């Protein structure tokens, strides 16, 4: 059951990811990205990270992507024009991409030697309680620093918007 769901969602995620790059219209691309985010949420759920799955849906599937779509609709961005692709990208693009993925996989594999295969349903540390406890004990400092960073970003946005109004 878990494996079937995993295969379905993994395929949906990959197809949506390809679609995101291949689509000509920004709205189609944005919707494909939502598909990727949602299927990732299901994958988190399968791995036992319930809270992460819901947060993924609320923050990425919802808020962030709504802003994307909002801006695309507001600017009324049209269909992308087909640029003259360089011969280099056409020939070497796919091999280079595969090589890059292989190198990254190899690096991860060699950096963390004790990696085992993922088995679904074997880990239950992803409840809201566990995440909250970790955030407020072990990872308190990074958590607070990120909060301040986000606050600075908000202030920056306000300052930028203020200039435009004046």
**Dist CA 157 CA 55 (whole Å):** 24
136 binds another protein (CB under 8 A): no
**Crossing angle for the helix pair 128-136 and 140-165, to the nearest 10 degrees:** 90
Q: Does 147 bind another protein (CB under 8 A)?
A: no
Closest separation between CB of residue 119 and another protein, Å?
A: 21
Gap between the Cα atoms of 58 and 150, Å rounded: 18
Question: For another protein, which is the closer residue by CB, 17 or 131?
Answer: 131
73 counts as binding another protein under rule CB under 8 A: yes
Q: Can residue 43 be called a binding residue for another protein (CB under 8 A)? A: no
* In the complex, least distance from residue 97 CB atom to another protein, rounded to whole angstroms: 28
8 in Cβ contact with 45 (< 8 Å): no
Number of residues that bind another protein (CB under 8 A): 25
């Amino acid at each position: 059951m878990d494996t079937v769901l995993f295969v379905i969602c993994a395929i949906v995620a990959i197809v949506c990811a390809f679609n995101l790059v291949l689509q000509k219209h920004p709205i189609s691309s944005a919707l494909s990205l939502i598909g990727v985010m949602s299927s990732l949420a299901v994958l988190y759920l399968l791995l036992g990270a319930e809270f992460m799955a819901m947060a993924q849906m609320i923050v990425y599937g919802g808020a962030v992507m709504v802003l994307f779509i909002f801006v695309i609709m507001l600017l009324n961005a049209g269909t992308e024009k087909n640029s003259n692709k360089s011969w280099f990208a056409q020939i070497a693009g796919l091999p280079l991409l595969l090589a890059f993925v292989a190198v990254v996989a190899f690096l991860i594999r060699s950096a963390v030697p004790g990696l085992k295969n993922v088995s679904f349903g074997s880990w239950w540390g992803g409840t809201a309680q566990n995440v909250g406890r970790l955030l407020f004990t072990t990872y308190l400092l990074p958590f607070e620093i990120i909060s301040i960073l986000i606050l600075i970003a908000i202030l920056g946005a306000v300052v930028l918007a203020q200039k435009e109004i004046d």
